[in-house]
Amino acid sequence: MTDVSRLPGAIRHQWDWQLDAACRGVDSSLFFHPSDERGDARQEREEQSKRVCRSCPVRTACLLHSLRAREKFGVWGGLGEQERRALLASRQRRGRRWRSAARNRTAGRGRTAA
């Protein structure tokens, strides 16, 4: 028999939010575009999927999952692919500015007044 004593515990709590998702049971093609979909058809499908997300009690958890997992495709937490990319890029820029400012503050601490 396999020894599972060293395996991490159940991680069910990390996925339980999906049980309450408004999209549960909805055809997933509403949230993921076909490769040949363009223009108005894509925009309309995406808007329909976002309407489902607007009423979702776990929208924030869904969005956070998609950002952590760097989901490249589909509508997650009410945001489309381009919106999530822009949000991640914005967070990266803010992070770089914050780290730079912190380095500047830290560098100034070791100086003595002349």
Domain boundaries, the chain: 13-103
Pairwise pLDDT comparison (55 vs 106), residue with the higher score:
55
User: Distance from CA of residue 40 to its chain's centroid?
Assistant: 25
Q: Is the dihedral of CA 39, 43, 46, 48 positive or negative?
A: negative
- Is 106 annotated to bind a ligand? Reply is no
Helices (H) then strands (E): counts for the chain: 3, 0
Reported confidence tier of residue 10, pLDDT bands at 50, 70, 90:
low
CB under 8 Å to 64, separation ≥6 — which residues? 77
- Is 89 annotated to bind a ligand? Reply is no
- Is 23 annotated to bind a ligand? Reply is yes
> CA 64, CA 51: separation in Å to the nearest integer?
18
- 36-65 confidence digits (pLDDT tens): 989 999 999 999 999 999 999 999 999 999
- Is 32 annotated to bind a ligand? Reply is no
> CA 58, CA 61: separation in Å to the nearest integer?
5
